[in-house]
Structure 1
Amino acid sequence: MYHDVVPAGAEDSSGFLGRDAALYKIAPDMFDAHLAAITSRLDARDRRDGSSRSNLPCAPAAKAAESVAAAGPHAAAITFDDGGVSALVAADMLERHGLLGHFFVTVNYLGTPAFLAERDVRDLRKRRHTIGSHSCSHPLRMGHCLWTQLLDEWTRSRAVLADVLGEEVTAASVPGGDFSPAVAEAAAAAGYTELFTSEPVLASRDAYGLTMHGRFIIQRWTTPETAAALAAGDWLACTRQRLLWNAKKVGKHLAGRRYLRLRQLILGHGNEVRWGDQP
């Protein structure tokens, strides 16, 4: 799971502002190295297993599956959250490596500084990248939203993207990784069929009325070797991230809102977004 691809020192030029968001933004040369390592690793695996990367949703445009669920048990998707304007840079680089991406858009920010405009979203889709929802407002604690809030976030964002693209949108990703069963149930009620979380698991599963996919987080210091290992499902790399994620999850649960306030104090957060328990 990526966010933005921006030069060092220009982190606020795409996507959400602040030092917190900057942790998940990587430089173009590093992203290019990631893609080279990923394609090399997957191609080597395919030669060994007799499978084909063309069956994956990150495969060349002419052969790519439209969804991870349709792509089979070895599917690997390259996803981008938030909808920052650097998605256009990322798409160019993906295509140079014969790949496609999944771009999840926070619709309240469409057309605002540092974010994609509607014409950009249409352009990405015409190039056969997948477009999905990342909610309307990107709540900081989506798992704590009231049911009415959840339904509004998912339903309205889906409607906006459908209007922009002229087609149904069936995939979404959970903002901030803050998941609860109600988040998935509301997504299903809003008409989505696939939901991407931040839980670092390899196997997709059917639950809450849709297909759920885990993801592995990429940060600015993630090496090309690690990115490739995660994409290939390497046991050690995936287990290491899973252990760290579970430890962080426990800390978030115990600290509650204090965790986010401390994170804001240390790193800052430059966005007018809801906590998740506010109307």
Structure 2
Amino acid sequence: MIINLMYHDVFVHDTNESGFQRERDLPYKMNASMFERHVKSISDYCESTHQSKNNVVFTFDDGGKSFHHVIAPILEKYGFKGIFFVTTKYIGTGTFLDEEEIRDLHKRGHIIGSHAHTHKHLYTLTDEQVEDEWKCSTEILSRILEEPIKYASIPNGDSSKRVLANAYKYGIRYIYTSEPITKVSYFNDMQVIGRYVLLSDSSAEYVMSIITSSKKRFLLLCKRAVLKIIKTVLGGNYLKIKNLLFR
């Protein structure tokens, strides 16, 4: 069984070092010392139980500079590689990765994937705009890396048939959602892969409970079902409740 973990930015001194600077992004920004405790705990667990470190996958959304300067060195220290999903509109701007940093991560053995182009809520866009999100992002990343882009994650958890269909159309074959589930589903031959979200105050004990306890994973799946109902009722005002549910 493979467990996929979902992180965003990791900071050393201040949350404004990397990635988006909106208030709603703050719950997803983790201190580097906490993140290293996560990685070390997982590494120690894999080694003590003689499990492959490939059974735990570290994924990162948005494309902040911390991917290159903070996260990758910590992962490499403990024998892991990451999957880094990049919002291509922001490449080379302010607190986001530039093209050389993306190439360097790729050369070091990490996977680079698309996080769409603008990070807008895909359910608010027209069919043509959703298609452009995947077309632009895959073209930009393919140009930078000089190879096809096969990995993607869906911004804001806005999965739907048309989102999956357009990602598939532009070459994506592994797409990551925000669903807390280990079972892989398929859209044509594209794998649709769930992940477990980690927040700024998620402890090492919490992430280990996800990895070691099927009961914990089931509870998170139940919470996700409740969240979907809340989102239907409250629309865009559900974020605070979401972050409370997943602490």
The answer to whether the superposition gives a TM-score over 0.5 is yes
2:42 alignment partner in structure 1? 38
Q: Superposition RMSD on alpha carbons, in Å?
A: 1.7
SS of 1:23's equivalent? Answer: helix
TM-score (norm 1): 0.79
Distance 2:52 2:199 in 1: 28
2:103 to 118, 122, 133: 122
1:175 alignment partner in structure 2? 155
- Please say if 1:91 is aligned against 2:72: yes
1:236 alignment partner in structure 2? 215
* Structure 1 residues 190 and 104, CA gap change in structure 2 (3 angstroms): same
2:12 alignment partner in structure 1? 7
Q: Which moved more, 1:206-215 or 1:108-117?
A: 206-215
Which structure 2 segments of 5+ residues have no match? 1-5, 241-247
Distance 1:158 1:171 in 2: 9
Deviations 1:87-115 (A, max 9, x none): 01100000001110000000000000010
2:52 alignment partner in structure 1? 52
Distance 1:19 1:43 in 2: 38
Aligned residues: 234
2:245 alignment partner in structure 1? none
Of structures 1 and 2, the one scoring higher in RCO (CA 8 A, sep 6+) is 1
1:111 alignment partner in structure 2? 92
* Structure 1 residues 78 and 101, CA gap change in structure 2 (3 angstroms): same
2:146 alignment partner in structure 1? 166
1:148 alignment partner in structure 2? 128
Distance 1:104 1:233 in 2: 26
Give the Å deviation of 1:186.
0.9
Deviations 1:138-163 (A, max 9, x none): 01x21342221111100110010000
Distance 1:41 1:225 in 2: 12
Distance 2:190 2:75 in 1: 28
Distance 2:60 2:157 in 1: 13
Asked if the contact 2:148/2:171 (under 8 Å) is kept, the reply is no
Distance 2:47 2:208 in 1: 11
Q: Which has the higher strand share?
A: 2
Q: Which has the higher helix share?
A: 2
2:195 alignment partner in structure 1? 215
TM-score (norm 2): 0.89
Deviations 1:225-278 (A, max 9, x none): 221232x35212212322222222211112234x27x87xxxxxxxxxxxxxxx
Distance 1:100 1:52 in 2: 13
Distance 2:144 2:123 in 1: 27
- Please say if 1:225 is aligned against 2:229: no
SS of 1:15's equivalent? Answer: coil
